Amino acid sequence: MLPAALALHGALGGPEDWSAVGRKMRVEAVDLFGDEEDERELRATRNLVSAGEFISSKWGGERRVLAGYSMGARVALHALLADGGSCWSGAVILGAHPGLEDRDERQSRRDLDAGWAEKLARLTPEAFMNDWNLQGLFSGKSGGVARWNPSDRRRESMAVAFRTWSLGAQEPLWERLGEIQVPVTWMVGAEDVKFLSLAERAIALLPEARLVRVPSCGHRLLIEAPGLVAEEIQRLS
């Protein structure tokens, strides 16, 4: 029996980020920075459009739910756009940004993400996470990430993703969201003000979608509300 969902983690994460959801239901969490042949082939796509096409061709077709968090949610949106989402039963999108529309803003984001990639190589894991958690994006009750100490090879893969899968390198998806023809549940923490605004706009453009505002939560829904995430996946399964 296949897991009910294929799940994609965020920029500094791994399959273990979905473990709390996995205790509620069966999920297959892809390691976007892993060493398996499929995972290395996925990273070699070098851009989000090709990454989305690869995910749908490799793991789609079984009518499972596609779930993604943050960076993984942006990858998931590209997978849904590869074929309108026809090989999935639906999607649960956590804290996604459909894209920056201003050219200068996109360049600034590419520069910012290149800086994060450089810090991954230069700073200790502790120093890097201190800087990472200072971002306003993570203001919420979940606080920092404990015991984050990736291998050198994994940090190299993360650095590549900061550049090739950067929000600044992503073409805006706003005008294409209407192509997604499967049910989408877009989840966002009620305290995640910026991403709540993005979600409200995105929901209006999707043919079949519902917005779930998670009370008293910020951006890190996999930490703050894994049970509710599992419920929403099961709703679409």
- In the predicted model, is pLDDT for residue 206 greater than 80? yes
Do 233 and 5 touch, CB atoms closer than 8 A?
Answer: yes
Phi, psi of 212 (to 5 degrees): -115, 110
Q: Are 11 and 148 in contact (CB under 8 A)?
A: no
pLDDT in tens, 107-123: 999 999 999 999 999 99
Q: What is the pLDDT of residue 139?
A: 63
What fold characterizes domain 5-100+172-236?
Answer: Rossmann fold (3.40.50)
Q: For the residues 191-197, what does the mean pLDDT come to?
A: 95
Q: Mean pLDDT, to the nearest integer, of 70-97?
A: 96
What is the C-alpha separation between 224 and 232, in angstroms, rounded?
A: 15
Distance from C-alpha of 41 to C-alpha of 125, rounded to nearest angstrom: 26
pLDDT band (50, 70, 90) for residue 197: very high
**Dihedral in degrees, nearest 10, Cα atoms 71, 77, 79, 84:** 180
Distance (Å, whole) CA 102 – CA 218? 26
Are 205 and 177 spatial neighbours (Cβ–Cβ below 8 Å)? yes
pLDDT, tens digit (0-9, with 9 covering 90-100), for 136-188: 887 655 544 556 889 999 999 999 999 999 999 999 999 999 999 999 999 99
34-74 pLDDT per residue, tens: 999 999 999 888 899 999 999 999 999 888 999 999 999 99
Give the residue with greater pLDDT, 214 vs 149: 214
Q: Please report, as a single letter, which amino acid is at residue 60.
A: G
Residue 193: closest CA among 211, 218, 161, 212:
218
Q: What's the confidence (pLDDT) of residue 2?
A: 73
Average of pLDDT values for 187-195? 95
What per-residue confidence (pLDDT) applies to 229? 98
Residues of each domain in the chain carrying CATH 3.40.50.1820: 5-100+172-236
> H/E element holding 117?
helix 103-122
Determine the pLDDT at residue 144: 47
> What pTM did the predictor assign?
0.95
Q: Tell me, what's the pLDDT at 46?
A: 84
The three-class DSSP label of residue 124 is: coil
Pick 56 or 3 by higher pLDDT.
56
What span, in angstroms and rounded, lies between the C-alpha atoms of 76 and 82?
10
Residue bearing tokens 């990858």: 75
| Cα distance between residue 131 and residue 123, in whole Å | 10
Looking at every residue in the chain, the average pLDDT score rounds to: 93
- Region 21-46 average pLDDT: 93
